[in-house]
A = this chain, B = another copy of it.
Amino acid sequence: MRVNRKAGKTMIKVGIVGGTGYTGVELLRLLALHEEAQVVAITSRAESGRRVDDLYPNLRGHYSIAFSEPDAAQLAACDIVFFATPHNVAMNLVPELLQSGARIVDLSADYRIKDAQLWSHWYGETHASPEILAQAVYGLPEVNREQIAGANLVACPGCYPTSVQLGLIPLLANSLVDSQHLIASSASGVSGAGRQAKVDNLLSEVSDSFKAYAVAGHRHLPEIEQGLGAIAGSPVQLTFVPHLLPMIRGIHSTLFARLLDTGVDLQALYEEWYADEPFVDILPAGTCPQTRTVKGANRCQIALQVPQDRDTVVVMAAIDNLVKGASGQAVQNMNIMLGLPEDMGLKQVGLLP
């Protein structure tokens, strides 16, 4: 098989820290077809020296690089650096990288929450670089596009938070619902749990079954409440129940809110609100999103209904957790930061069936 290399033109140099997980390989998949970007470094202590296409044979013919030990100088020489690491890694490395002039998209949770104490409460450790939290921009382009464009550090939203916020923002921005009793019943494919060797995520444990988890409190709760509170202009309260789906990719959030005013045309409101957004798609009235229609695509599909014309609105939002919920959104942020067309490298159509 012939190797498919990009043409000789000058490319944007991309570094990826921690590329062996699912958000790492997904960045590689998306960037393989990005017209302007080229991955020049991808780090992994555990797999250093191993070619990326040996670990992930879907990349054969698209990449010839290998994982390498993290090298600060090499990363500093990149135009953009993605952190595709578990939490607690970026917050230790980012300060120095920023000083050396790098621009960073962090896919982890380290810079999402503005309040370092709140972060510590939920993540169980002290934040290593709280002084940088203020300059980190929360990377939800539908809210912060302009700030992202000028940012040196973008904190990519979590997967659940992306779907819940995109689903509820129009309601809260227009003060249409009781913001103290929001409910999110979300469900995620298992890839959201990452590629760690855990009994809990074995196929034999989670296939062919369904359950809620972390009902007492999931780490994405404070992130969502922070984001929605900013939209609403005052604190909100959300009951957030995540569930685990017997499949790999996809997040679906079913959102419930009590309407303060039942006379608003919510379908029109949502369509207008997201009319110019390239990656948010309001479905026709009466339909429901499916995770399969966004599989592999950087897209959030949303539909809404007011069942029985009562006073509870139901909003449904579907994304691919690894794309719009992680690596796709990260590339979208990169495009914005670098002044590229926002959809460059992100035109994939959902893989259906």
CA distance in complex: A185, B252 (Å) = 12
Q: Which residue from B204, B276, B283 sits with its C-beta under 8 Å from A201?
A: B204
A58 touches B297 (CB 8 A): yes
Question: Are the CB atoms of A250 and B210 closer together than 8 Å?
Answer: yes
A306 to B: closest C-beta gap in Å:
9
Residue in contact with A57 in the complex, picked from B29, B208, B283, B296, CB distance below 8 Å:
B283
Q: Which of B62, B193, B215, B314 contacts A239 (CB 8 A)?
A: B314
Nearest CB on B from A319, distance (A) = 12
Give A contacts to B, CB under 8 Å.
1-2, 4, 22, 25, 28-29, 32-33, 54, 56-62, 181, 183, 185, 187, 189-191, 193, 195-199, 201-213, 215-217, 221, 237, 239-241, 243, 245-250, 252, 254, 256, 258, 274-284, 286-297, 299, 301, 305, 307-308, 310-312, 314, 316, 318, 322, 343, 347-353
Given contacts A187-B187, A210-B245, A254-B185, contact A215 B289 (CB under 8 A): no
Query: In the complex, what residues of B have CB within 8 A of residue A240's CB?
Result: 307
Q: Write the chain B residue with the least CB distance to A277.
A: B1
- Can you add 12 more A-B contacts, CB < 8 Å, to A1-B282, A4-B343, A239-B256? A2-B277, A4-B278, A29-B351, A56-B293, A61-B281, A197-B198, A205-B353, A207-B247, A208-B292, A209-B290, A215-B305, A246-B247
State A267–B281 Cα separation when bound (angstroms).
42
Q: How many copies does the complex hold?
A: 4
Task: Name the B residues within 8 Å of A193 (CB-CB).
Answer: 204
Q: Report B-chain residues with C-beta under 8 Å of the C-beta of A311.
A: 181
Specify which of B56, B308, B314 is in contact with A352 (CB 8 Å cutoff): B56
Residue of B nearest to A200 (CB): B197
Residue pair A197, B195 in contact (C-beta under 8 Å): no
Contacts of A280 in B (CB 8 A): 1
Q: Contact: A349 with B305, CB < 8 Å?
A: no
Q: Please indicate the chain B residues that have their CB under 8 angstroms from the CB of A211 in the complex.
A: 252, 288-291, 316, 318
Interface centre among A205, A206, A316 (most CB of B within 10 A): A205
Contact B307 A217 (CB under 8 A): yes
How many angstroms from the CA of A130 to the CA of B271 in the assembled complex? 45
Considering the chains assembled together, what is the distance between the CA atoms of A152 and B305 in angstroms?
41
CB contacts (< 8 Å) of A299 on chain B: these are 61
Residue contact B208 to A208, C-beta cutoff 8 Å: yes
| Residue contact B247 to A209, C-beta cutoff 8 Å | yes
Contact between chains at A62 and B248 (CB < 8 Å): no
Contact A350-B58, Cβ < 8 Å, known A207-B247, A343-B4: yes
In the bound complex, what is the Cα–Cα distance between A250 and B208 (angstroms)?
9
Chain B nearest Cβ from A89, distance in angstroms: 19
In the assembly, what is the distance between CA of A81 and CA of B59, in Å?
A: 32
Among A198, A248, A295, the one with the most B-chain Cβ atoms within 10 Å of its Cβ is A248
CA distance A311 to B29 in the complex (A): 40
Q: Which 6 A-B pairs have the closest CB atoms?
A: A58-B350, A209-B292, A185-B185, A211-B290, A203-B203, A58-B352
Return A203 CB to nearest CB of chain B, in Å. 4
**Nearest opposing residue in chain B for A30, CB measure:** B349
Q: Are B347 and A348 in contact (CB under 8 A)?
A: no
- What are 21 sample pairs from A and B whose C-beta atoms fall under 8 A apart? A2-B275, A22-B204, A25-B353, A59-B349, A62-B349, A190-B202, A190-B203, A190-B207, A191-B353, A193-B204, A197-B202, A210-B250, A210-B252, A210-B290, A211-B289, A211-B316, A212-B316, A216-B307, A239-B256, A239-B307, A241-B254
